[in-house]
Amino acid sequence: MSSQDILKNASTLASYNVLLQVMFRVLTFLLNAFTLRFVSKELIGVVNVRLTLLYSTLVFLSREAFRRACLSGDSGTNRSWRQIINLLWLTVPLGVLWAILLGCVWLWLLEVPDVQTIPYYGPAVVMFALSGVQELLAEPLWVLAQAHMFVRLKVVAESLAMVAKCSVTVVLVVFAREWGLYIFSAAHLVYTGLLVLSYAVYFLCFLGSEEAAKTRFPLHGAADLLPHRADGEPLVDWPVARLTWSFFKQSFLKQILTEGERYVMTFLNVLSFGDQGVYDIVNNLGSMVARFIFLPIEESFYIFFAKVLERGRDVRNQKQEEVAVAAEVLECLLKLVLVIGLIITVFGYAYSHLALDIYGGTLLSSGAGPSLLRCYSCYVLLLAVNGVTECFVFAAMSQEEVDKYNLVMLALSVSFLVLSYLLTWWAGGVGFILANCLNMGLRILHSCLYIHRYFELSRWKPLRGLLPSPLVVVSLCVAAAVTAVSEALLCCDRGWLLRVVHVGVGGVCLLLVIAAVLFTETQLIQFVKTQLLPRYRKKHA
């Protein structure tokens, strides 16, 4: 498969993933708004912080390293998928081990919530851990689907699972509110169970079909999906297994950096369960656009870079036409996420208070809520840039470089935890976001230095994508000033009519910024049209 074909597939995958993330976040957004009217913020804090942290830690530590290693390099028929699948099935016993260890920590070492306020905590811990192990049953199928660009499968499977989860939650919240944590635990089990079922049904129907034969799919029957050893072959692909081990050592550190504030809240008790609930809701609101756009782009284009570039080789020893494509894509991606991040930062500052007031009323808009969301809008900019730079760096690094980077991640993890603890005592929930910003800035600096060294002896300079045009910068500065004045004069306790005017002012400013981008960033616009908009591509194919 040529680099252009891989790019098209990665772009299609990114587009579908964006659609999927939009649907997920909209459903979660509406679900949180609904449950806020029925359950306490303390219950939301336990579910969204402590129990979700248990599930995400278990799943991430069990599968992330396998995903990154098994999706690197060639995914075609030349690869021994039997050995890869054998390796991927190790995620299940690893998940069981983590479920036991983490379950004991969550049950016996952490503070147990008050039984009267938050009932059924113990069974909820067991059910969330079980849901994580259950999801790992689909891991070999997920990697197969990603490697062979089955873009619609992920959308359909996760959409069905998410709709089922939301439906169960709404019904139980309305009709069985006394069930407490059982409501959210049961809904999560339904989500992961339906996810596994969807992948299993799809592959059972696909294997042996005419479509599979036409595409020369490397597996032929359901038995090929199960772990078994072929005569004369090693049990697993040992180079991939060693790379998995390198990523596995790194996954501990990356998980701390990704969920650091939840670990600090969970293990150090710096915020009450109610404050944790408010922080998590604001965090979800602030990260909506980041998860809509930035995370799908990072996941999809990691696959692109990993397939186009040969891991561990410098730029002179790569195929030059593929390096040229990779450099151009990296520059456009950096410009894209930078522009979107700057827009979120500018308009997030002036519209945080209004957004929280509409979403959750005075429960969220009073107190530290608006300050949290304003700080988070700045953090989104750093989050956007880091996602793209790191997806390139992790795809290009050799195994030795990955091992060395583990030391960098260790230093970043320790500094982040210390900063989170100190800044939270000083500034409350805002301290978590400030610590994240400082840490993310250091990660971006490291990645940019690596990219600079990687392309230093070539004619390509993809880091130019971090320099927006002067007209875009000026338009953003004007928009920031105008919307800040508009908020001071028109929002947020002066009636709905003035609120509407405030929104209108922001809409006009946003149109001016978009016009500046369209007028000056022609290469970026062309990239978005040809690579990130499936309708446009299909129409002109």
Residue 533: its pLDDT value, please? 61
The pLDDT score that the predictor gives to residue 539 is 37
275-286 as b/e: b if 16+ CB within 10 A: bbbbbbbbbbbb
Q: Is the CB of residue 408 less than 8 Å from the CB of residue 446?
A: yes
Q: What is the pLDDT of residue 76?
A: 45
Domain coordinates of the chain in residue numbers? 1-38+259-467, 40-255, 469-520
CA distances from 270 to 142, 273, 280 (A): 37, 10, 14
Residues 144, 84: contact at Cβ < 8 Å?
Answer: no
Q: What local confidence, expressed as pLDDT, does residue 168 receive?
A: 92
Residue 496's contacts (CB-CB under 8 Å, 6 or more residues apart) are none
Block mean pLDDT (10 aa), the chain, length 541: 61 62 69 75 87 94 89 58 89 96 94 86 96 95 85 82 89 88 94 95 86 80 81 78 84 76 83 81 76 75 82 78 86 91 91 83 74 89 90 85 80 83 82 88 92 86 89 94 90 79 93 94 85 47 41
Contact status, residue 457 vs residue 316, Cβ threshold 8 Å: yes
- The DSSP element (H or E) to which 221 belongs, if any, is none
pLDDT for res 228? 78
Contact of 3 with 321, CB cutoff 8 Å = yes
Distance from C-alpha of 291 to C-alpha of 190, rounded to nearest angstrom: 23
User: Tell me, what's the pLDDT at 189?
Assistant: 96
pLDDT of the residue at 538: 44
441-478 exposure pattern, b = at least 16 Cβ within 10 A, e = fewer: eebbebbbebbeebbeebebebbebbebbeebeebbee
Distance CA 80, CA 308 (A): 19
Can you tell me the distance from the alpha carbon of 62 to that of 99, in angstroms, rounded to the nearest whole number?
10
Q: How far is CA 8 from CA 214, 301, 400, 528, 530, in A?
A: 20, 10, 30, 12, 9
**b/e per residue 408-425 (b: at least 16 CB within 10 A):** ebeebbeebbebbbebbe
pTM of the model: 0.70
Tokens for 385?
């840039």
pLDDT at 8 (0 to 100): 63
Write the CB contacts of 190 (distance below 8 Å, at least 6 apart in sequence): 161, 164, 165, 168
- Euclidean distance between CA atoms 155 and 202, whole angstroms: 13
SS3 letters across 441-509 = HHHHHHHHHHHHHHHCCCCCCHHHHHCCCHHHHHHHHHHHHHHHHHHHHHCCCCCHHHHHHHHHHHHHH
Q: Enter the tokens of residue 366.
A: 């009073």
Q: Is 366 left (phi over 0), alpha (psi -120 to 50) or beta?
A: beta
pLDDT of amino acid 83:
87
